[in-house]
Chain A
Amino acid sequence: MTTGYQIVVCGGIVPDPLQTLDPVANPAGPTIKNEMMLPAVLDPWAAHALYEAAHLAKATPGSKVWLVSLGPKAKLQQVMMTVAQKVPFELVALDGQAGGFTDTYEVAALLAGAIQAIPGLDRSRLLVFGGWESASRGAGATLQMVGERLHVLDQFQGVDRLAIAADGSFQILERIEGGRHQVSTCAGPPAVLGWATGSLPEPPNNSQVGMANMRTVMPALHRAKPAKVGAEGVTFARVSLPSQRRDTRIVKDLPVGEIAREIVAWITGA
């Protein structure tokens, strides 16, 4: 009997957060201006999930990590060049639109289908990981829907820690209101965990890992099936950038005491 985990990380790609984003209206719904030209990264919270998955797999012999990603093939390839250097995984790629304006319901259907199609996946040892919210839609909905489609009833969101007890049960910490964590125990896999930051730093690049990963990444990209994804039944009446520029008053050369008085008056409403 295997004691390892079959960890499937769902992680999309998003425009690099340092880029300026402009929405544009298309007949099929809104998109981001020049989206294909913008440098992309692995969705940050999904990246944390991937690092946690790799860490857990390393600590648990017999485990394996897959990364399931839906995005335009060319963009996926660009992002994988970096991500593949980090930790060992096998890529499952779906070639389709990767934006915030597609609907979670449709994305979840595709991801769940891709997970179900992984050959030989032992669903009794399955852990579905991902970021608890994406940097595009930020809905925190996709993983739950994937879990439902796979009939996984133990689900956790905003996870910062997964600890495994000697009997194989889990202790899980999830973010809740007021800077606190909810603590749960769970009998074991299968489970869905939407990760927040976790506790691991970004792993340094490792060229050996990169070379091993690329042996499966390139064929996976080659095999990637075109996936139709949109937001059927959704009508966007308006997508706009906030008028966020403020008229900043820059206060220079004011004595510290004066600044302090001004701040205190402002804070206390005096």
Chain B
Amino acid sequence: METLLFLAHVESDGSLATQAREALGAAREMADALSGAPLHVGVVGRDVAAAAGSIAGCGAARFLGVAGADFSQPRYASDAAAAEALCKAAAATVVIAPATSRWCRVLPGVAQRVGGRVDTHVTGISADGGAPSVTRWYYRQRMEATLTRAHRPWIIVLDPGCGAPWKGEAGAATVEVVPVKLSETCRRTTVTGVQAPPADQQTIRPDAGLLFVAGAGWTKTQPDGKVHAAEAAELILEFLRKAQASLGGSKSLVDLTGEGQAVLPFMTHLNQIGQTGATPRHPKGLSACCHGEEPHVVGWRFISERRAINLDPNCGWARGKADVLYVADAFAVLRRVNALLGEK
């Protein structure tokens, strides 16, 4: 019989993120499907009581915790030690954890340490037929596979937005503290903070309903023979503000930043969507001045509704990659869109 462990870390305010609750929802479902498989909860952080309490009603057989100042920062050495201790204390055969940057940094290493195997970027978990199986994408979202593993322990790292967050009663949970003593070699790294663009230049909004993708066309010579990069920057920023959209870019556009051409100052490699960029999840996506080539469009795998604005009726979007292609000048369209959004 399987023994399940839901593995989470607390946020800086001591709470559990929505993403962690999604992984808990998946773990709970699996425990129910594997009738009788015990579900354990393992939480890491400075103080784990509040987080454990917030999911007290999840039917866990045990709440285990690794806590203390040493475990407040997302640092490989301490997180690995904590996660290893929790996996062992629970004697888990299947571990389900959210794919936060903190867990992604460390859980494959933990799998190695506990003699296990790992699957990351999992988009679906099931226990049909009485055995756990997972679904994930290969070749940068080009093909989807469903697989099972004979080896245990098996660490499954679930991507955000791939399941409903667990909902249930909060209460008091008795947390069994799992002692972890860190050696000095685990303290060679210190996390000193987070670097983020100034609020008015923060263009990446993972929770936005709309992804707006700008392509290199914004910086290219326009039909009047001139480049209008400054106007492009203004139009895009105004649109992002009014539509509360998240900003993505094509590789060609973000690469220009490094080459000192007329560019959009707020665009960095972090905005890049595609093969060597991000694959964000948003319900809608609007592309403008981007050609829609395959290495870009693989980054749209998890964008449900897609529209594009391009001067070229034969661009990639026309070939089954978007629901609607507007053959038009994106400068003119965005100007009008901004005006209309302003009236709302």
Contacts and interface: CB of A to CB of B under 8 A. Distances in A.
B91 to A, nearest CB: 19
Contacts of A21: 139, 142-143
A256 B117 contact: no
B270 interface: yes
Contact of B326 (A32, A176, A251): A251
B145 interface: yes
A168 interface: no
B105 A156 contact: yes
B166 to A, nearest CB: 20
B210 A267 contact: yes
A51 to B, nearest CB: 12
Contacts of B1: none
Contact of A140 (B108, B145, B204, B320): B108
Nearest to B101: A176
A149 B197 CA distance: 37
Contact of A180 (B77, B147, B148, B196): B196
Given A157-B104, A249-B325, A267-B243, A178 B276 contact: no
A252 B313 contact: yes
Interface in A242-270: 242, 244-254, 256-257, 259-264, 266-268
A153 B209 CA distance: 39
B333 A250 contact: no
A14 B196 CA distance: 32
A120 interface: no
Contacts, number: 271
Interface in B262-302: 268-272, 275-276, 284, 286, 293-295, 298, 301
B128 to A, nearest CB: 10
Interface string A20-49: 010100000010100000000000110000
A158 to B, nearest CB: 7
Contact of A175 (B117, B270, B328, B337): B270
A184 interface: yes
Given A17-B294, A183-B194, A185-B190, A248 B326 contact: no
A199 interface: yes
A181 B195 contact: yes
B112, B186, B210: which has the most chain A beta carbons within 10 Å? B112
A233 B108 contact: no
A154 interface: yes
B190 A184 contact: yes
Contact of A179 (B100, B204, B298, B326): B204
A154 B108 contact: no
Contacts of A261: 340
Q: Is the interface of A mostly helix, strand, loop or mixed?
A: mixed
Nearest to A194: B105
B322 interface: yes
A3 interface: no
B257 to A, nearest CB: 10
A138 B205 CA distance: 23
Contacts of B275: 17, 44, 135
Contacts of B243: 267
Contact of A187 (B75, B148, B188, B294): B188
B323 A246 contact: yes
A141 B295 contact: no
Contacts of A239: 138, 143-145
B295 A18 contact: yes
Contacts of A175: 101, 270
Interface in B242-274: 243, 245, 255, 258-259, 268-272
B138 A101 contact: yes
A163 interface: no
Nearest to A136: B139
Contacts of B332: 256
B185 to A, nearest CB: 6
Nearest to B150: A233
A123 interface: no
B269 A160 contact: yes
B189 A259 contact: no
Contact of B112 (A144, A240, A242): A144
A197 B77 contact: no
A108 B188 CA distance: 24
Contacts of B202: 178-179
B313 A154 contact: no
Contacts of B324: 248-249, 251
27 contacts: A15-B139, A17-B140, A105-B112, A105-B118, A135-B276, A136-B139, A140-B104, A141-B118, A141-B120, A145-B112, A148-B109, A155-B77, A155-B106, A156-B76, A157-B101, A157-B105, A175-B270, A176-B102, A178-B196, A181-B194, A185-B192, A237-B148, A248-B323, A249-B325, A266-B284, A267-B243, A268-B344
Given A138-B121, A176-B194, 5 more contacts: A101-B145, A141-B120, A177-B100, A177-B101, A252-B313
Interface of B: 74-77, 80, 100-102, 104-106, 108-109, 111-113, 117-121, 133, 137-140, 142-151, 185-186, 188-197, 202-206, 209-210, 243, 245, 255, 258-259, 268-272, 275-276, 284, 286, 293-295, 298, 301, 305-307, 309, 313, 317-329, 332-333, 336-337, 339-341, 344
Interface of A: 14-15, 17-18, 21, 23, 30, 32, 44-45, 100-101, 103-105, 108, 135-142, 144-145, 147-149, 153-158, 160, 173-188, 196-197, 199, 201, 232-242, 244-254, 256-257, 259-264, 266-268
